[in-house]
Amino acid sequence: QVQLVESGGGVVQPGRSLRLSCAASGFTFSSYAMHWVRQAPGKGLEWVAFISYDGDKKYYADSVKGRLTISRDNSKNTLYLQMNSLRAEDTAVYYCARERIVGATVDSWGQGTLVTVSS
């Protein structure tokens, strides 16, 4: 079955960097577009970034543009989120999610990894 496992979260100081990973299994990773979605404590879901199946297309929420970078390594079945110049408002659980090939619905989610930006 589809499995997405995020890792790399933790406590980081403002202005520092962090890289999240999402290990995919149970499906042909290289055929699927992927997303990162985050959820601040006690708040709603916020879409963060999208990457096409081949990595050619990338889109970002305005709130993270220029600071967060989505990438993937299809040979390792892994999705990444490089987070630079972190701010307190980036504190959230970060989920990776798979987009269905036909119809573009996000249909599978990982369990999330918590990033806390604090001095």
Of 113, 119, 103, give the one whose Cα is nearest residue 4: 113
Among 12, 35, 72, 79, binds other proteins (CB under 8 A): 35
**Residue 111, interface with other proteins (CB under 8 A)?**
yes
> According to DSSP H, which parts of 2-112 are helical?
none
**Residue 2, interface with other proteins (CB under 8 A)?**
no
Cα(62)–Cα(81) distance, integer angstroms: 16
What's the distance, Cα to Cα, between the start and end of the chain in Å?
40
Dihedral pair phi/psi, residue 89, rounded to 5°: -75, -5
Of 69, 105, 96, 101, give the one whose Cα is nearest residue 3: 96
**Residue 82, interface with other proteins (CB under 8 A)?**
no
Among 86, 95, 113, 115, binds other proteins (CB under 8 A): 95
Q: How far is the CB of 38 from other proteins (least distance, A)?
A: 11
Among 62, 66, 75, 119, binds other proteins (CB under 8 A): 62
* The two three-digit tokens of residue 100, written as one number: 């269905």
Among 50, 64, 80, 86, binds other proteins (CB under 8 A): 50
Q: How far is the CB of 95 from other proteins (least distance, A)?
A: 6
Q: Which residues pair with 12 in a beta bridge?
A: 117
Nearer to other proteins, 42 or 75 (CB): 42
**Positions in the binding site for other proteins (CB under 8 A):** 35, 44-47, 50, 59, 61-62, 95, 100, 103-112
